[in-house]
Amino acid sequence: MRIRALSFFRRYHIPTFIIVLLLFGLVLMSLRVKQRQGVAFFDALFMELTSPVQKAATFVIKTIHGVFQHYVFLVHLEKENELLRRRIAEFQEENHQMKEMVMANDRLRKLLQFRENMPASTIAAQVIGQDPTSWFKSVTINKGEGDGVQKGMAVISPEGVVGQILKTSPHYATVLLMTDYNSAIDAIIQRTRAKAIVEGKEENRCQLKYLLRTEEVAVGDIVITSGLGGVFPKGLMVGEIRSVDKKSHGVFQYADLVPGVDLTKLEEVLILSAAPPPPPRLEEKEKKVKKISAGSSKKK
């Protein structure tokens, strides 16, 4: 019996392996679907092991990009001017580095000012990689659980909303961008105060949904966070409306908007480590109203 089982396994070991591996993939997928999160330990472990490679690659690419833009283009100048050319190249490189420093300084100062104005405490992070697939929109940042980053935290920049933390490891995290189709943000139109939901649509594009047809919306209107979702504080820039689709029927109208932040050129972000204060509950409001009315009746 045992020999028979052994010979059966030998004969069918490859189909068995294929079935086991695919089943394992399906089990992992069902686990993730059930919990809506990764297999936390393995995710964190592999992220921790492989993110430094991504970080190093980003550094190398940035350096090469700088050299290509400011040095290699000078290669085809005449030979007589070689010395001058070298000096120009050196100066240009220096100039480029200084410009880069000034720009980085500006960006960081802006970030710092913005950070100081934020009611919640924030963690600054750098983007070290983007989503390797074209179907999903996310970035990898160089801060993780060890720095206080947790799943679900809001990610912003001085220009506005960026997204939410999707996965974390001790030193790295993945941010789901607001342009991903999985993303939904509670928002209001700044001018009319009309409520809507901003959902990701495509590369640097979002869609405004559940916006009542009766509400007045125009191209160029600014959309801000409502603060109702409990993730983003109220009043952060979400984007600007580019087109409005008011259908002839139905309860809602739709609008396309461009995010306030250019998510394709993201370099530094801020993570809101403390949740914004929740909107006051109805009961609390009622209590306040009762107190005020009781106080006024006493005075009378």
Partner 1 sequence: MKRFFYPFLAGLLLLTFQATLLASLPVHRIRPDVVLILILFLGFSYPTVLGGLIAFSLGFLLDLFSGNALGLYTFTRPLIFFVAQLFRSHFYWKGFSFQFLFVFIFAILEGGLILLLVSGLNPVPFHNLYTSVLADLLFQSIVTGLFTPILFPLFEKGSIFLATQQRVAIKRQG
Q: What is the binding site for partner 1 (CB under 8 A)?
A: 14, 17-18, 21-22, 24-26, 28-29, 31-33, 36-38, 42-43, 46-47, 50, 53-54, 57-58, 61, 65, 129-138, 140, 166-167, 174, 176-177, 180-182, 199-203, 207, 264
Q: DSSP label at 191? A: T
* Rounded least distance, CB 241 to partner 1, Å: 16
Nearest to partner 1 of 166, 236 (CB atom): 166
Least Å distance between CB 263 and partner 1? 10
- Separation between Cα atoms, residue 58 and residue 140, nearest integer Å: 11
Shortest Å distance, C-beta 286 to partner 1: 33
Give me the least distance between CB of 31 and partner 1, in Å please. 8
**Whose structure tokens read 């009746």?**
297
Token reading at 76: 């085809």
In sequence order, the β-bridge partners of residue 255 are: 208, 244
Q: In what helix (H) or strand (E) does residue 84 lie, and over which residues does it extend? A: helix 82-117
Residue (44 or 189) nearer to partner 1, CB: 44
Bridge partners of 161, per DSSP, are: 156
Between 120 and 178, name the residue whose CB sits nearer to partner 1. 178
* CB of 124 vs partner 1, minimal distance in Å: 21
Q: For residues 52 and 280, which CB has a smaller minimum distance to partner 1 in the complex?
A: 52
Residue among 207 and 225 whose Cβ is closer to partner 1: 207
Q: Which is nearer to partner 1, 53 or 72 (CB)?
A: 53
Dist. CA 239–CA 233, nearest whole Å: 15
Helix (H, G, I), strand (E, B) or coil at 128: strand
C-alpha dist (Å) from residue 185 to 36, 73, 173, 236, 267:
18, 45, 20, 11, 22
- Least distance in Å: CB of 100 to partner 1? 16
Which ranges of the chain does DSSP label H, i.e. alpha helix?
Answer: 2-11, 13-35, 40-70, 82-117, 282-299
Q: Residue for token digits 């921790």?
A: 48
